[in-house]
Amino acid sequence: MTRYVMVADLRRCVGCQTCTAACKQANATLPGVQWRRVLDIEVGEFPDVSRVFLPTGCQHCGDPPCEEVCPTTATYQRDDGSVQIDHDLCIGCGYCALACPYEARYIVDEAEFAYGMEPMPNEAARFDEGKIGVAQKCTFCIDVVDAGIAKGLKPGVHPEATPACVNACISGALTFGDKDDPNSPVSKLLAKVEHFRMHEDLGTDPGFYYIWDKKPEDLM
C-alpha cells in the first residue's frame, strides 16, 4: 500500500510563506485562497512566550470526514491515501468544509483577481472556471506526483514528483513521501523524531505530521 503524507518540522519553519507562494503559483489559486498556509502563532503568556510557525492545509486524512459527508462523491480518497475533489461533480454545498476540522477547504462563488474583477493576462491564462462555486483544497500536487511516477521518479525524493510547497521550502521544513515505504524520506525522518498530528482525537487519521523535537535517544 501507499500512503502519501507530509511532514512539517516546526523547529525549522521560519514562517517565510514561500510554500504558500509556491502553492499559489503552481495551482493558480485566486487571491484569498491558500491551499498551503503558514499560521503565525504566539503561545504562552509574558514572559514565557513562544512564536511558532505552523504550516497547515488539507491533512489528507486516512478517515476523511469531508469524504464521509459529501453527498455527491465529489470528494474521494485515492488508493495512495490522498483526498481529492472531482470539481465536475461537486455542487458547492459546503458541507465538506464544515466537516473538516482543519479549515482546509475554500469555496469561491465569484472570481476576484489581484486587481479586482478583471484578471491580469497571466491570471486569465490560468483561470479555471470549473473551480468556481465548488469546494477546492490542497491536492498534494497529485498531477505532478503522478507524472513523476510515470517517469520512474520517486515522490519526496525527486523534485519532479514532489509537491510545490515541499520543493520551495527554504529551510527543509517540509518533507513528502510514502509513509508505508520504510525507505521513504518521511518514514526515515519520523522514525527519529517526536511528532504529533493535529486533532488526532477526532479519529481523522491525518496524513500531516508535525515534528517538535528529536527522539530522546538522540539527545543522549
Partner 1 sequence: MKHGQQGYSKTDKGGQRKKGGKRGKVGPWPRLQKFWDIRAACNFIGGGTGAGLLLVAGFYALQGLDNTPLVIAGFLSISFGLFMVFLEIGRPWRSINLFFHPQTSWMTREGIVAIPLYVSMALSVFFAGQFIGVLASISAALLAGLFLYCQMRILHAARGIPAWRHVAIKPYMLITGMTEGLALALCISVTSAHTALVPILALLLFMRLGFWLRYAHQLRIDGAPEASCNKVDDLFIWTMVGNLLPVVLLVADWWLEVEAIVVLAGLIAAFSGWYTKAIVVTKAAQTRGFRLPRTPVRGQGQSRVVGQSGFRQNQ
Q: Applying CB under 8 A, which residues contact partner 1?
A: 9-11, 15, 17, 20, 30-34, 37-44, 48, 50-52, 54, 56, 65, 67-74, 89-95, 97-110, 112, 132-134, 196, 198-199, 202, 204, 211-214
Query: Which is closer to partner 1, CB of 56 or CB of 82?
Result: 56
Residue number with CB closer to partner 1 (93 or 153) = 93
Q: Which three cell numbers stand for residue 214?
A: 528529536
Least distance in Å: CB of 172 to partner 1?
14
Beta strands in the chain (DSSP E): 4-9, 37-45, 48-56, 75-77, 83-85, 106-108, 135-136, 174-178, 193-196, 208-214
- Looking at the Cβ atoms of 124 and 202, the one nearer to partner 1 is 202
Nearer to partner 1 by C-beta: 41 or 147? 41
At closest approach, how far in Å is the CB of 123 from partner 1?
A: 15
Cβ atoms 135, 97 nearer than 8 A: yes
Rounded Cα gap, residues 62 and 136, in angstroms: 18
Residues listed for the chain: 220
Check: CB of residue 102 under 8 Å from CB of residue 59.
Answer: yes
Minimum distance of partner 1 from residue 29's CB (angstroms): 11
Q: How far is 216 from 195, CA to CA, in rounded Å?
A: 12
Closest to partner 1 by CB, 4 or 210: 210
